[in-house]
Chains A and B, each alone.
Chain A
Amino acid sequence: MLEPLLEVRGLTKRFGALLATDDIDLDVRAGETHAIIGPNGAGKTTLIGQLAGDLQPDAGRIRFAGEDITPFGVAARSRKGLARSFQITSVFREFTALDNVALAVQAHDGHSFRFWRPARREAALREPARALLAGLGLEARADVVAANLAHGEQRQLEIAMALATRPRLLLLDEPVAGMGAEESQRMIRLLTGLKGRQTIVLVEHDMDAVFTLADRVSVLVYGRIIATGTPEEIRGNAEVRRAYLGEDTRS
């Protein structure tokens, strides 16, 4: 049996008296789309923060492709192939969409201690960036300043940037958050297209997205994972039902 791509053991994080992450074990297999769901306050943001490298856990270990990445910072993890998108859209607002993606390409194209050639004229950066934007249907918006893009386009831009870093695992923090029905559908279609080719860890509230996309689902409640299984298994799980009572009843 192949080692999981992402292996989390005993992850714990405290904020003063609050135990935000309580001894979490989690496995993500290569090629799978793994959703993490849970009621508000369950600690999803803290968990993502520790996976991405924003937060250092108080205890526990994170192994990625067989390597212990727990001591690594955000940038180092990105270079190892762990890409993320943010819950609240975070792009380079003053730069064009093309600039944004080109920067992501640049980050993984050797070092950037180059002081002379204009970066905007480097085909090695611009071509792949354009291709990525085209893959997301944004090629017409390439020269639009990111701040002027529609909300949904900005979310797509984030995905393009994540893909530009040639990731082995995509960590998506609520990718359809704040999107209308049509935009959500487009994003879900996009992510469905990535299934299998990318390993995806998805934190989401939107059950539609979760049940369409996820191969497996882990449920986070009060910092602990109470259940992991296929969407059907989770749907039928009594404990999960109880945790969600009064929350989203669409499932």
Chain B
Amino acid sequence: MTTPDQHRSDKTRKIAIASTGAFIAALLVFIAVILPAEFDRDPLGTGEWLGLDQLNSATVDAYQPQLIPHKSDDVELILEPFQSLEYKYRLDAGSGMVFSWESTGPLYVDMHAENTGTENGGEASFRMEEDAESGMGVYTAPFIGLHGWFWENRTLETVVLRIKSSGFYVDATEFRSGGSTTSTPEAVFRN
């Protein structure tokens, strides 16, 4: 018959073994299944063996279904001499858009994004140019936030800027020194 002390330490041992076992099992599940499926890493080769690597392969990346309605934007913005403005789209992480812009005169441009999903924010910068009159590209948002441009007219002539874009953004905001205005570009298919 076990003494209370012996019983207590038996119980403690049982719990310690069970807890360690739980952790090791979790580690195995994580390394063998979750790393390949979610993080695109396959240290044990189990991802390949189980076929999970297909969740991360390049051909899967080619097509990315989007959940936010497809919208199209066409705006004309006027920059008087020495005026500057920002124009940004609100995009969820992984959402994409295509854009092109043209201006009637040279502009300083800075294409960048701000992260609104985390406490410290965080920014990313994509293109900075002193005298640009056009730009175009395909953009996929690396994080949830506001993505777009800062333009500054450093000449003595008024510059007209035209932006056309199509993508999976929520809305667009124009920031000027006086304030900002947010508008929702029209959805391509209107229900």
Chain A partners chain B: no
Which A residues have a C-beta under 8 Å from some C-beta of B?
none
Q: Please list the residues of chain B having a beta carbon within 8 angstroms of any beta carbon in chain A.
A: none
